[in-house]
Amino acid sequence: MMHGGGWWSYISYDEKKKQPQVQRDLLWRVWGYAKPYRFKSVGLLSTILLITGLSLIPPLLYRDLLDSMVSFERVFEVIDLPVEIEDKAGALTLTNVSGAVTFEQVSFSYTEGGDGGASLLGLSADTAKDETELPALQISTRSRAIEEISFEIKSGQLVALVGPSGAGKTTITYLLPRLYDPTDGRICLDGHDLREISQQSLAQTIGMVTQQTYLFHDTVKANLLYARPQATQAEIEAACQAANLHHFIISLPKGYETVVGERGYRLSGGEKQRLSIARVILKDPRILVLDEATSSLDSQSEALIQEALERIMRGRTSIVIAHRLSTILAADVILVIAEGRLVQQGHRQASHSAHEILLAQPGLYAQLYHTQFRETL
């Protein structure tokens, strides 16, 4: 499909007419490539119209446009990527989800090439280091990110994932919304293998809040509506109030119609995180997957975010990569991960919390508590 010199090699500059000229061969290639897609993608249609309309663009924009043509090749490379996870024929659409989750002897290895495509989504694998993470142990190189992990989460429980950096906690949170399928074993939601459930149904059931917030160059309201396009203004404002964000938004020059900028650069880190929380509240998922914000935020922002998270976790099955002692103390289940394996787990009982049960045992959890979490008391 691609010309040897890239898309931009099909464009020349007519000195006599003082405007760019698009070779006919390029037009045939572009329209021929796009035809099978029937223009279902707005982004693809915009790209096609831009390329075929180059001859109408004022000469002063020619140089800038020619430079930007380099990115078109990358756009089509992404469009051409094969779909790795597809629904099975007759995939289930879940209704009345309770939120019970089980991992049964689950193992996973990222695909050849490093992160299995995580970088395309702006995600990071567990090998990334974070100064705010728990202290890393000296671990051996392993071929699998997680190995034979089994646990059960009941509906409505709060589960804290604890362990050193690179242990496999993030990988576990990627497998539940089916960003990847397990290499071995299976993951079940309400007794159904995730591979038997339609991806749309799964996406409606699970909400994710990560430390890195994904925002578009659009208004505050538009960014919130990605969670639920049919939401009313009253529902949007209620979600923002629950996320401790409403008063900030109405103080902006255009309120909910204020443009946040590319990747939300006009907002602070805490404001972006609260917007992400408001988006999940608006979505109202049955299961919440959360990577807690770290101490890189100022104390006021951290307190507002923590209060909002406590609201959203009530009554939902919540799986949290825990950085705060308060979350760990409140957890119904604590899973301790190291070197890709589940090395300890504690379950709340009538007389003892999961934290107390694990702390009474010799092992990694007690070590992490005394070296890391105890300082936060």
Specify the pTM: 0.70
Better pLDDT: 130 or 292: 292
pLDDT, tens digit, 9 for 90 and up, residues 109-146:
986 434 444 444 445 545 444 444 444 444 445 688 99
| pLDDT above 50 (res 23) | no
Does 186 score more than 90 pLDDT?
yes
Q: What is the pLDDT of residues 133-180, one digit of tens each?
A: 444 444 445 688 999 999 999 999 999 999 888 889 999 999 999 999
Beta-carbon contacts of residue 246 (< 8 Å; ≥ 6 apart): 237, 240
**Token pair recorded at residue 324:** 């705060």
Convert the pLDDT of each residue in 24-45 to its tens digit: 444 445 555 555 544 445 555 5
pLDDT class of 327 with cuts at 50, 70, 90:
confident
pLDDT score of 135: 43
8 pLDDT higher than 80 = no
Q: What's the whole-number average pLDDT of the chain? A: 77
pLDDT of residue 102: 95
pLDDT in tens, 217-245: 889 999 999 888 899 999 999 989 888 88
pLDDT for the residue numbered 344: 92
Fold of 101-212+284-376: Rossmann fold (3.40.50)
Query: What is the pLDDT confidence band of residue 66, given thresholds at 50, 70 and 90?
Result: low
Out of 38-47, 191-200, 253-262, 319-328, give the one with best mean pLDDT. Answer: 191-200
Q: Is the pLDDT of residue 92 over 80?
A: yes
What is the location of CATH 3.40.50.300 in the chain? Answer: 101-212+284-376
Structure confidence at residue 193 as a pLDDT band (50, 70, 90): very high
pLDDT for 335 = 95
Mean pLDDT of 68-96: 80
